[in-house]
Structures are given as structure tokens and as C-alpha cells.
């Protein structure tokens, strides 16, 4: 257990529905990342926060995706109007930014999404 928790662990939804995932990072970590992982691939970056500010978004993050970290602690990732191509494992990671190039990111267990 890394100290990063995610909820739910599994989600099955029908195409067109909205889903929301939650991530609770390690408490003293100021950076929080969202990644997506499909079967047989490495995680792909989606977006990240430093405290409550969303600093970077990947081009993978379409308009249907939105992430928030309102108080600089937990974060939510919402997918609107889900599509079958959204089926994947959504991973959250957190880190304590010590300086450039020295960020060990610790991952949560992931939320596995299946869109029917």
C-alpha cells in the first residue's frame, strides 16, 4: 500500500453515462497526477495538479474529461458521455516536488472502467 487511495476500484457503466473517480494522495504530497492505462500498455499521462492548480493537460484529455482538486488534497476525474474507448484503468499518482527531475511518483491501485 503506497498511501494513495482511489475509489471506486471498479466501475461498469453504459455508453453515454457520466462517471466520476476520486483519488486521495499521500497527505503531504503537493503534486497529483492522473494517468490512463490500457491493456498491454504503459500508463499515459492525462493531467496533473500542483496543490489546487491544474498545470498541464495531455492532448488525450478530450473535452469530455475534467479533473479538479479544489482544496489541494483529493482530486476527482469526471468523464462525461462515456464511450467504449474510455474503457481503461485510471491511475492516480502523487509526489512531493523537491526540484526538477527528482519526483518519485507513488501510484494508487487504480480504477478500472468498463464502458458497455
- Contact positions vs other proteins (CB under 8 A): 2, 4, 6, 33, 35, 40-45, 48, 55-56, 58, 91, 93, 100-110, 112
In the complex, the smallest distance separating the C-beta of residue 81 from other proteins, rounded to whole angstroms, is: 25
Cα–Cα dist 65/19, whole Å: 10
Cβ proximity to other proteins: between 84 and 104 the closer is: 104
**CB 98 to other proteins: min, Å:** 11
> Rounded CA gap, 39 and 37, in Å?
7
Which one, 14 or 59, has the nearer CB to other proteins? 59
- Min dist. Cβ of residue 50 to other proteins (A): 9
Q: How far is the CB of 18 from other proteins (least distance, A)?
A: 24
Cross-strand bridge partners of residue 11? 113
Amino acid at each position: 500500500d503506497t498511501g494513495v487511495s482511489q475509489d471506486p476500484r471498479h466501475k461498469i457503466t453504459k455508453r453515454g453515462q457520466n462517471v466520476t473517480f476520486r483519488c486521495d494522495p499521500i497527505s503531504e504530497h503537493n503534486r497529483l497526477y492522473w494517468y490512463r492505462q490500457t491493456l498491454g500498455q504503459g500508463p499515459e499521462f492525462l493531467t496533473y495538479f500542483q496543490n489546487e492548480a491544474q498545470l498541464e493537460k495531455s492532448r488525450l484529455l478530450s473535452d469530455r474529461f475534467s479533473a479538479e482538486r479544489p482544496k489541494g488534497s483529493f482530486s476527482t476525474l469526471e468523464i462525461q458521455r462515456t464511450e467504449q474507448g474510455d474503457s481503461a484503468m485510471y491511475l492516480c499518482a502523487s509526489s512531493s516536488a523537491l526540484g526538477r527531475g527528482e519526483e518519485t511518483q507513488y501510484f494508487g491501485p487504480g480504477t478500472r472502467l468498463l464502458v458497455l
